[in-house]
Amino acid sequence: MRAKASQQTKASAAADEGAPGGGIDYGPLDRRLGYVLRRAQMAVFRDFFSAFEAFDIRPAQYSILTVIECNPGLKQSEVSEALGIQRTNFVAMVDELQRRGLVRRDPAPNDRRSYALVLTEAGRRLMGELHEVAERHEQRIADAIGAETHRRMFATLWKIARIGEGGER
Amino acid sequence: MRAKASQQTKASAAADEGAPGGGIDYGPLDRRLGYVLRRAQMAVFRDFFSAFEAFDIRPAQYSILTVIECNPGLKQSEVSEALGIQRTNFVAMVDELQRRGLVRRDPAPNDRRSYALVLTEAGRRLMGELHEVAERHEQRIADAIGAETHRRMFATLWKIARIGEGGER
């Protein structure tokens, strides 16, 4: 525990550089990467929510539609695995996108138990708009933290995203 | 749009450095910071979930207990704001922690409509164990991505966490 104590101090000092005060003592939370990642993700999602409010599109729906758009005909299980979304949640989300006329479930070739996902014409048209909104959202994030910092984050975040995964994502 | 196209290419190249392939085309998702933050956060939480499984403690519960431990007597609204948790969700989470005998709601001095949160003796004892488990979890994350990368992430993530917030957290 002695070696760890000095490490804690270093991590804590690093956290203090960026962490705002506000009179609350966050104790060891300030040196928990999961907590700070969650706060950062929430802030970016807040901007996303307000940008996509008029379209009634949430981040997970945008991700699903994008993967279907870029890979038409993938099976449901392939899309949910690619995005790391649990099967049950995923099926409910696709149900909603289908009900809204954006996604179609076709019979999967050579596999009677599963469906191949494709965008409808309305889905394809909507994606054209969504990508433009998403690009402006991304630009706001880059402007807020600096283009260079924004650019540099991706490689490190993917490294973190692969922890415990043996290479898949 | 012409200036943005070149920026997209740069961001995409940065994403490719770290993003694994797997035969799926992620299209513009690879250059959406929110998406990659979410994947990174999910990976760190997966390690947290498995580390805290025996205690039946989720990340948000650990955060709440830590803030109450470090700031005994804070009002419910102060703790939920400090952690960015919506009021309704927060009350339900405190209900559960109270039912498990870890948290107590005392009458708030000078405010009959609200409660001051404190840990029970059992809650304080549990926190001693949880912080040790959390420290080992953090060490695994630091080992996986390198101590220096781990240390450097905090300032940038706090900068992102403050987007659109005018300084609070």
pLDDT at A73: 95
Name the residue among B38, B46, B152 with its Cβ closest to that of A41: B38
Task: Give the mutation candidate from A6, A7, A36, A129 for the B interface (greatest B CB count, under 10 A).
Answer: A36
Summarised one tens digit per residue, pLDDT across range B129-162 is 999 999 999 999 999 999 999 999 999 999 999 9
Q: To 10 degrees, the CA torsion angle through B47, B140, B124, B161?
A: -70
Tokens of A144: 């807020």
Name which residue leads in pLDDT, B8 or A19: A19
Q: What is the pLDDT averaged over residues A10-39? A: 74
Task: Tell me what pLDDT residue B113 has.
Answer: 82
What per-residue confidence (pLDDT) applies to A2?
A: 38
Residue B128 sits at the chain A interface (C-beta within 8 Å): no
DSSP single-letter state for residue A29 = G
Distance CA B145, CA A159 (A): 7
Model pLDDT, residue B164? 87
pTM summary value: 0.83
CB-CB neighbors (< 8 A) of A156 in chain B: 18, 145, 149, 153
Q: What mean pLDDT comes out for the span A77-91?
A: 94
Question: What single letter denotes the amino acid at residue A77?
Answer: S
**Which of B67, B158, B124 is CA-nearest to residue A24?**
B67
B19 falls in which pLDDT band (50, 70, 90)? low
pLDDT for res A166: 58
pLDDT of residue A61: 97
3-state secondary structure of B44: helix
The mean pLDDT of chain A is 87
Confidence band of A1 (pLDDT split at 50, 70, 90): very low
Number of H-type helices and E-type strands within chain A: 7, 2
Residue B106's H or E segment, with its range, is strand B103-107
Classify residue B108 by its DSSP letter. Answer: P
Give the Cβ contact number of residue B97 at 10 Å: 21
CB B155 within 8 A of CB A19: no
- The answer, yes or no, to whether ipTM is higher than 0.90 is no
Query: Using CA atoms, how far apart are residues B55 and B133, in angstroms rounded to an integer?
Result: 10
Contacting residues of A for B167, CB less than 8 Å apart: 20
Measured CA to CA in angstroms, residue A93 lies from A119, A133, B46, B113, B124 at distances of: 14, 21, 22, 39, 40
Count CA atoms closer than 13 A to A66's CA, side-chain side.
24
Question: Which tokens in the block code for residue B59?
Answer: 């990340």
